[in-house]
Amino acid sequence: MKIKDVTDFIKLEHTVFDLPFIFAGAIIASGGHYFILKYIIILITATSARGTGMSINRILGMPYDENNPRKKNWALVTGKMKLKDAYILTFLLAAIFEVSTYFLNITVFILSPIVILFFIADPLMKRVTSWRHLFMGFTIGLGVLGGFLAITPVYPPLIIYLIILLSTFWIAGFDIIYTIPDIEYDKKNNLKTLNVKYGLKTGMAISYVFHILTIGLFIFIAFIVKNIYYDILLVPIAALIIYQHLILNPSNLKTIRMSFFNANSFIGIIFLAGMIISFYK
């Protein structure tokens, strides 16, 4: 099992969607103070959590992935990674996640198994409900709460719930775009997405509505942080959210990739910068 196969399997590059928001939660809890050691442990916790979630997703999705043309080059499908090795990797990553939560604080450690349960439930949701995009968004959005509790294990303020909500809508919106190439395959295999249930046109409309709500929540947060630099950073955030819809051509796989990954990769980073500027005055 090669390192490249492992990184392809757990898709660590996708941490760009959740790490900034997890650290945003931590920054808010820090109250202008620096907790460098805790930030490092949060990084280990978040990365191992993402790897665990992706590994579980790959294992549970294997019966479908091996027949999906888009996923023909995935490590489990090609046999570059054996199922036994995938299980070992999953348990190893889960163990790192659990141990690292222990070193954060007892509250996070006690709550950590709930995160694993969400990871298990997430890939199963595509067999249950067409609205599972929101469940995925919420599952990843919970990292914001985790980041906050890792620093200060108390009831979080309103802004944390708002960030979880915007993360939920944001991720659900671009996950609808991500599933476009699988529409016909999902129909044949009774896998549920909004594109399958309502058709591509309506699915894209719902994605757009989710992202309008996301922009609205970003703006709402501006009234809480009250920082002119955060207000300025809202411009590129909103522009990138809208841009992914403007460049999207559902029949062109390249534009789907650009819309899903390229456009969204910078949003969390810009938002985190806004949080750092706002809370480290």
Model confidence over 8-29: pLDDT tens digits? 666 777 788 899 999 999 999 9
- pLDDT confidence of residue 276: 95
Among 181, 186, 184, 192, CA closest to 134: 192
CA distance 172 to 207: 7
| Two structure tokens written together for 85 | 């090795």
| Two structure tokens written together for 45 | 């916790």
CA distance 47 to 11: 10
Q: How far is CA 87 from CA 67, 80, 244, 258, 267, in A?
A: 21, 14, 35, 32, 33
Model confidence over 89-137: pLDDT tens digits? 899 999 999 999 999 999 999 999 999 999 999 989 988 999 999 999 9
Q: How far is CA 248 from CA 191, 239, 256, in A?
A: 23, 14, 6
Cα–chain center distance at 224: 24
Please say whether the beta carbons of 243 and 265 come within 8 A. Answer: no
H helices present in the chain, as ranges: 3-10, 19-30, 36-65, 75-78, 83-104, 106-124, 132-151, 158-178, 183-188, 194-198, 200-225, 228-246, 253-257, 267-279
CA distance 268 to 250: 24
User: Considering the entire predicted model, what is its pTM?
Assistant: 0.93
Q: Which residue has the higher pLDDT, 22 or 62?
A: 22
* Rg of the chain taking only CA atoms, in angstroms: 19
Model confidence over 177-233: pLDDT tens digits? 999 998 998 898 888 999 999 999 999 999 999 999 999 999 999 999 999 999 999
Please say whether the beta carbons of 232 and 273 come within 8 A. Answer: no
Among 271, 199, 186, 192, CA closest to 235: 271
Please say whether the beta carbons of 30 and 110 come within 8 A. Answer: no
| Phi and psi torsions of 178, nearest 5° | -60, -30
Q: How far is CA 92 from CA 3, 84, 96, 238, in A?
A: 15, 12, 6, 38
CA distance 241 to 179: 17
Model confidence over 256-265: pLDDT tens digits? 888 878 888 8
